[in-house]
Amino acid sequence: MRISEMSSAEFAEAVKKGPVVILPFGAVEAHGAHLPLGTDAIQPLAVAEEVAKRTGCLIAPLVAYGQHSSTKRMAGTIGVRMETLKALTIDLVDSFYFHGVRKIVLLTGHAGTIHMAALKSAAEELVWKYEDLRLMVLTDYDYAYRMNDEICGGEEDGHGGIIETSRIMALRPDLVKKKRKKGRSIGPNFMVVRDPQRFYPDNFVGDARKATAEKGKKVNDFVVDRLTEAIEKNFGD
Amino acid sequence: MRISEMSSAEFAEAVKKGPVVILPFGAVEAHGAHLPLGTDAIQPLAVAEEVAKRTGCLIAPLVAYGQHSSTKRMAGTIGVRMETLKALTIDLVDSFYFHGVRKIVLLTGHAGTIHMAALKSAAEELVWKYEDLRLMVLTDYDYAYRMNDEICGGEEDGHGGIIETSRIMALRPDLVKKKRKKGRSIGPNFMVVRDPQRFYPDNFVGDARKATAEKGKKVNDFVVDRLTEAIEKNFGD
Amino acid sequence: MRISEMSSAEFAEAVKKGPVVILPFGAVEAHGAHLPLGTDAIQPLAVAEEVAKRTGCLIAPLVAYGQHSSTKRMAGTIGVRMETLKALTIDLVDSFYFHGVRKIVLLTGHAGTIHMAALKSAAEELVWKYEDLRLMVLTDYDYAYRMNDEICGGEEDGHGGIIETSRIMALRPDLVKKKRKKGRSIGPNFMVVRDPQRFYPDNFVGDARKATAEKGKKVNDFVVDRLTEAIEKNFGD
Amino acid sequence: MRISEMSSAEFAEAVKKGPVVILPFGAVEAHGAHLPLGTDAIQPLAVAEEVAKRTGCLIAPLVAYGQHSSTKRMAGTIGVRMETLKALTIDLVDSFYFHGVRKIVLLTGHAGTIHMAALKSAAEELVWKYEDLRLMVLTDYDYAYRMNDEICGGEEDGHGGIIETSRIMALRPDLVKKKRKKGRSIGPNFMVVRDPQRFYPDNFVGDARKATAEKGKKVNDFVVDRLTEAIEKNFGD
Amino acid sequence: MRISEMSSAEFAEAVKKGPVVILPFGAVEAHGAHLPLGTDAIQPLAVAEEVAKRTGCLIAPLVAYGQHSSTKRMAGTIGVRMETLKALTIDLVDSFYFHGVRKIVLLTGHAGTIHMAALKSAAEELVWKYEDLRLMVLTDYDYAYRMNDEICGGEEDGHGGIIETSRIMALRPDLVKKKRKKGRSIGPNFMVVRDPQRFYPDNFVGDARKATAEKGKKVNDFVVDRLTEAIEKNFGD
Amino acid sequence: MRISEMSSAEFAEAVKKGPVVILPFGAVEAHGAHLPLGTDAIQPLAVAEEVAKRTGCLIAPLVAYGQHSSTKRMAGTIGVRMETLKALTIDLVDSFYFHGVRKIVLLTGHAGTIHMAALKSAAEELVWKYEDLRLMVLTDYDYAYRMNDEICGGEEDGHGGIIETSRIMALRPDLVKKKRKKGRSIGPNFMVVRDPQRFYPDNFVGDARKATAEKGKKVNDFVVDRLTEAIEKNFGD
């Protein structure tokens, strides 16, 4: 299931069956004082593991670094440029395609605008190059935020907020700090600035005090259910 | 006011006053059978002209081509790659900066995800390069869609729909076809495909029959008001 | 005739007839104190409109910015790098080709050495990529300067001089200043320098006092005649 | 110690002490039928963990993919281009540098010629850009192969051979197949070919039957000792 | 005088005197049936040697390959892309600048439009980067064609014609074929085509039968005289 | 035999016979105080000439500049970036391939790690692009260092040392200084630094006093013999 643990021969065998490969993208990004820098890696990896159990997908090793804008200058955000992320995505899909894989899910835990555009732009070039490649691109937050009303009761929630904190509490409670607060955001009013962190004085957005492992489990299950359905629908023959 | 109509000496004089320059980005893109390909150029140009009258901004010549994803394969969509759009944006702002301009608005009529990411990514690099550059990046649809409830009454509306058709009816009624219909969209379910137009069988989304010049004028005025305010707030000293 | 004013369906219809598309390139460039910065856009656009009337060509929206060398540091010259101009040209022709256009004229009002090389280099790659693409690349000054003897009587004339001033006087008299002088150039003796404007102390070359709208009309007509002939010869089947 | 598990605030605190950051590079590469594809990730990660315990280094998340030449077409080798690997390395070090890190070790488990050149070329540009950056670049095989005589008794050993198999047996015995054989290599005689795997008919080189966990532990300890010494020598003030 | 023949220490010593370095660019290009492919290398090398004798310039090793357009598909034309030539030029001047050279002449025997634009575009970036760099860019044909009236008596002459053949006869008579003819050119009428050699059916232009070593010597002397003067004027303090 | 001395027609004729083309790469690089900067060009050119005599290979003009790392900051090392060298190599092989050449030897006198990786990476892309291209990539030092025991008697020898000095003494005795010494190297311990020349305080490595023309001739002959054999084996049908 984990490609890194398969031998060359086992991989060759698995590919013959026309598997879906999930290529997970994480990030090293500031998520307030209460969440670990690897928050965006923990989530898609957990989702991928669970989805793989249900669907028989293969899981490729994590792309551990993403592209960051608003959090770029916050301590601990280690990222790459849009161009690099796009090139990396293209190279990896090229390589999987060469070895016979035709169904790929790019699943990213980080969901920044430019980060997503890098993946999508790579994907557009790839499907144009390979006629029989079937490619799905999403962040698990495309699903997770659908739970916003249920989990947050209409309250504003975002990066490192109730949903994200809850999800990490369900997955890696040891990495979530007990002391949490509410994170504010200040509208940048469409200005692109050198120090965008000033619009996020707490490095996260939402009332992290209201996060619980139970809420997190609910969201994680929801994401796994939706992604399982989508993979079956999109890649079922 | 229009840079293309100023002489070199007039431009030099104008720059001494620390003006805001609006750099408008249009597109050549299919917008259903009822709207012209240049729809996304008409809107920001009209907005820029009106805002310039109120604020004394200078208007740079239009960047006439943008980046397109879902409409890319529809007849008449003529676009550029993300990388090219980013390079172009960087070059132009570099050039304005060299000549002394420090306040720039990148105002785009087209609002595709990758298109916007190209502008934002360019903007991030530019403000990092130039400490005293003040840069605003937006699509006029960042404002226009705020009128969605008022104009569309909660109905789904999008590319080439009620709002966009109405706006063009207010600005260039000669270019809007009388015969209009309702455009449907089909969810791509996160698949990136070679033929994304199949998710937009009508080449637009929304009930274009409900568009009127009055609605368009209302939206256009709203956009001009908001942008005027934002420019005054962001660039006022 | 103007692609930006056509609907998607009208464009699709027009392409079926195998049309010639003129893609005009302008510039934002200092042309002395008497001419507008958009001088190089006004000329090819006017030529394209007239040629289109005679030949049925389609006109694509203007590429408003070019590459500049000697005038780069003069107030108001807003340009792009050679690489960007080349990428833009390739992308646009790629896009037209995708949509079925096979006959394209790249018509540029600006005629700088590196600017022209960018267009030609793009064109060479494009015709190599597409076997059935027929591509013409020229500046309207390839024709206009053939009138040098007749219009200038053997006098040195160049950027912003008698011919160019006359042409703008014929097209946009409102944008030409009454007060004009003679512009000198100083040979750079093959040196490439940081401040090439010092070789053009007046920002233009030629005796602009001798310009008249009549001379301009003569040149404009000559250019239109020649380009009409060339298009008929090059693209006629 | 693991950056991905630290919060933003903890990272900021740690950086104040002037830490060494180890950035590990792995690979997804065919290593015969007896070793997992992730072999080159397991080794530097284990080394990094142990060295970090001894020296207080921080460990950055793994770069999971490398550049491959001779094994590129063997089943399961998933890699990136030289340019992408170089860009990624530059971006990551840029990012660490921005956040105050001045001492970095690029430690790669994969040791291909072009792969190493990508890291070194990136490193050369980075030290030229940042005067106070101290950068160490090596593969753990720079040390491991020094054990060749002791471990292999003079026998030819290489990719996936005695030393590498032994090391994985010591670290992840569950991932090493019991059935192993001797891998041959055929000299390419300086030819660069489309199918370089033909020069490695077994996908690895060396007598993997002679591998033992004890030998592996010995090599792993040796590598940890040497790297610990080198880090103390190179980065001690 | 020839940098390739100096030791490191001798070069260091020579640089202290603030020398002019001539960096010669040749080409491998079809020049009709009568001239060698290396024609464009022979000329600037001979000019450089003679100018160096008179002025004390240093001569860098030849860049042996250039960019070609109209002759690109003729047998034996071996060239590089515009981008590569530009990158190479930038790298080499960067390198000379790093080692203390401040006065450089890029002297090219090949004079194609795009080739020249690559050198000039590189030069513009370089002088912008280095404030005290003095850079001259020319082809020896900038001078040689000034002899056109005297040598060719007003007859059309071009690539591989009277002047070029004469020059090679003066320099390397052993490489010029006795049997020569007149080469015609056919106007491409601004079309950029896949097979531009069809516009030059003889692979050269001009009446090569009228070439003589005497004419060649006259041109070569003229070029050397002019370049010597220009170097003294441009780089004299 | 030398392509630069052939006419277009002669080249076309030669290509019909399916020749091997040797493309030699030199360098301009500090080699201690006793050797010329062009040392790395002299060697492969001499080898190529002799091999061509024996095998009928064609010799392309020298690529005179390479990529340098450890010697980069030593006086007189004039080099290019890895990317430029790779692009140049690709362009040249593309060009030879276009003209019908299918057997190419990239023979480099300089053997730096990144330099070699640039050539190999280019070669890998080229053989992937052209199915029937047969490409050999090596430095003459791949052979020359096999003589180490015989020539140096087990003594450490490297860049500019006994073997290299001897070879130049055999080929260009006029360019080798009489006064020579022993060059030391200091281990960089895997650090990549701004001033790598500090690890080579003499700009070369080995006891150059022990060099003789006889030793050089022996090495040169050995290299020619081995390369002749390899070309016959690799390219013989």
DSSP string, B169-204: HHH-GGGS-S---EEP----TTEE-S-GGGG-TTSS
Query: Is the CB of residue B7 less than 8 Å away from at least one CB of chain A?
Result: no
Put simply, the answer to whether B117 touches A82 (Cβ < 8 Å) is yes
CA angle E214, E218, E222 (to 5 degrees): 165
Is D127 among the domain residues? yes
Put simply, the answer to whether F193 touches D127 (Cβ < 8 Å) is yes
Put simply, the answer to whether D234 touches F83 (Cβ < 8 Å) is no
Q: Check the CA dihedral B61-B65-B71-B77 and report its sign.
A: positive
Put simply, the answer to whether C193 touches E127 (Cβ < 8 Å) is yes
Residue that the structure tokens 């040209």 belong to: C89
**Rounded-to-10 torsion of CA F49, F55, F57, F62:** -20
Is E171 among the domain residues? yes
Interface test with C, best of E190, E198, E199 (most C CBs within 10 A): E190
Residue ranges making up the domain that contains E154:
3-230
Closest approach of C120 to chain E, Cα-based (Å): 7
- The answer to whether residue D154 scores a pLDDT higher than 90 is no
Could you tell me which chain C residue has the CA closest to the CA of E83? Answer: C83
F38 SS3 class? coil
**Do residues C64 and C45 make contact, with C-beta atoms less than 8 angstroms apart?**
no
**What residue spans of chain E are helical by DSSP H?**
8-16, 39-55, 82-98, 113-129, 140-144, 148-152, 162-171, 213-235
Instruction: Dump pLDDT digits (tens) for A106-149.
Output: 999 999 999 999 999 999 999 999 999 999 999 999 999 999 99
Structure confidence at residue C65 (pLDDT): 98
Residue A207: Cβ-neighbour burial (10 angstroms; 0-12, 13-18, 19+): middle
pTM, two decimal places: 0.98
Q: Which of residues 31-60 of E touch C (CB under 8 A)?
A: none
Nearest to E214 by CA among E178, E158, E176, E170: E170
Is D184 among the domain residues? yes
B138 SS3 class? strand
Distance CA F21, CA F58 (A): 5
Could you tell me which chain D residue has the CA closest to the CA of A97? Answer: D78
Which chains touch C (3+ CB pairs under 8 A)?
B, E
Put simply, the answer to whether F190 touches D142 (Cβ < 8 Å) is yes
Pairing, β E20-25 against β F191-192: unpaired
Distance CA F143, CA B232 (A): 72
ipTM score:
0.97
Q: How confident is the model at residue A237 (pLDDT cuts 50, 70, 90)?
A: confident
**Do residues E96 and E106 make contact, with C-beta atoms less than 8 angstroms apart?**
no
Structure confidence at residue B58 (pLDDT): 98
Selecting from F113, F124, F191 the residue whose C-beta is nearest the C-beta of D192 gives F124
Interface test with E, best of C84, C114, C130, C190 (most E CBs within 10 A): C190
Structure confidence at residue F237 (pLDDT): 75
**Rounded-to-10 torsion of CA B97, B23, B62, E191:** 30
Is F237 among the domain residues? no
Query: Is the CB of residue C201 less than 8 Å away from at least one CB of chain B?
Result: no
Q: Please provide the size of chain D in residues.
A: 237
Is E208 among the domain residues? yes
DSSP symbols for chain C:
-BGGGSBHHHHHHHHHT--EEEEEE--B---TTTSBTTHHHHHHHHHHHHHHHHH--EEPPPB-----STTTTSTT-B---HHHHHHHHHHHHHHHHHTT--EEEEEES---HHHHHHHHHHHHHHHHH-TT-EEEEEEHHHHHGGGHHHHHTT----TTSHHHHHHHHHH-GGGS-S---EEP----TTEE-S-GGGG-TTSS-EEGGG--HHHHHHHHHHHHHHHHHHHHHHH--
Q: Dihedrals φ, ψ of A186, to 5°?
A: -120, 125
Q: Which of residues 72-131 of E touch C (CB under 8 A)?
A: 72, 82-83, 113-114, 116-118, 120-121, 123-124, 126-128, 131
Nearest to F126 by CA among F117, F114, F135: F135
The partner residues of D137 in beta bridges, in order of sequence, read D106
**Do residues C190 and C215 make contact, with C-beta atoms less than 8 angstroms apart?**
no
Q: What average pLDDT does the structure give for chain E?
A: 97
Closest approach of C156 to chain B, Cα-based (Å): 22
Number of domains forming the structure of chain F: 1
Q: Dihedrals φ, ψ of B139, to 5°?
A: -105, 145
Is F236 among the domain residues? no
**Do residues B198 and B186 make contact, with C-beta atoms less than 8 angstroms apart?**
yes
Nearest to F3 by CA among F88, F101, F81, F77: F101
**Do residues B172 and B125 make contact, with C-beta atoms less than 8 angstroms apart?**
no
**Do residues A164 and A213 make contact, with C-beta atoms less than 8 angstroms apart?**
no
Could you tell me which chain A residue has the CA closest to the CA of D72? Answer: A95
**Residues 6 or more apart in contact with residue F221 via CB below 8 angstroms:** none
The kind and range of the H/E element at D41 are helix D39-55
Please report, for the domain that includes residue D182, its CATH number. Answer: 3.40.50.10310
Closest approach of C81 to chain B, Cα-based (Å): 7
Q: Spell out which residues of chain C touch residue B70, defining contact as CB-CB under 8 Å.
A: none
**Do residues D127 and D133 make contact, with C-beta atoms less than 8 angstroms apart?**
yes
Selecting from F62, F78, F83 the residue whose C-beta is nearest the C-beta of E95 gives F78
Put simply, the answer to whether B190 touches A69 (Cβ < 8 Å) is no
Ranges in chain E, pLDDT < 50: none
Selecting from C116, C134, C190 the residue whose C-beta is nearest the C-beta of E136 gives C190
A156 SS3 class? coil
- The answer to whether residue B150 scores a pLDDT higher than 90 is yes
Is E154 among the domain residues? yes
Structure confidence at residue C237 (pLDDT): 74
Structure confidence at residue E237 (pLDDT): 75
- The answer to whether residue F154 scores a pLDDT higher than 90 is no
Distance CA E157, CA E207 (A): 7
Pairing, β F20-25 against β F103-108: parallel
Instruction: Dump pLDDT digits (tens) for D168-218.
Output: 999 999 999 999 999 999 989 999 999 999 999 999 999 999 999 999 999
In the 8-state DSSP scheme, what is residue A139?
A: E
Interface test with D, best of A1, A22, A31, A78 (most D CBs within 10 A): A78
Put simply, the answer to whether A7 touches D36 (Cβ < 8 Å) is yes
Contact exists between C and B (3 or more beta carbon pairs < 8 Å): yes
Q: How far is CA F231 from CA C117, F54, F103, in A?
A: 41, 11, 10
Q: How confident is the model at residue C33 (pLDDT cuts 50, 70, 90)?
A: very high
- The answer to whether residue F148 scores a pLDDT higher than 90 is yes
**Do residues E115 and E159 make contact, with C-beta atoms less than 8 angstroms apart?**
no
Put simply, the answer to whether F113 touches D120 (Cβ < 8 Å) is yes
- Interface contacts (B, C; CB < 8 Å): 171
Q: Which of residues 139-198 of A touch B (CB under 8 A)?
A: 142, 189-194
A138 SS3 class? strand
Is D237 among the domain residues? no
**What residue spans of F38-161 are helical by DSSP H?**
39-55, 82-98, 113-129, 140-144, 148-152
The partner residues of F138 in beta bridges, in order of sequence, read F107
Q: What percent of chain B has pLDDT over 90?
A: 98
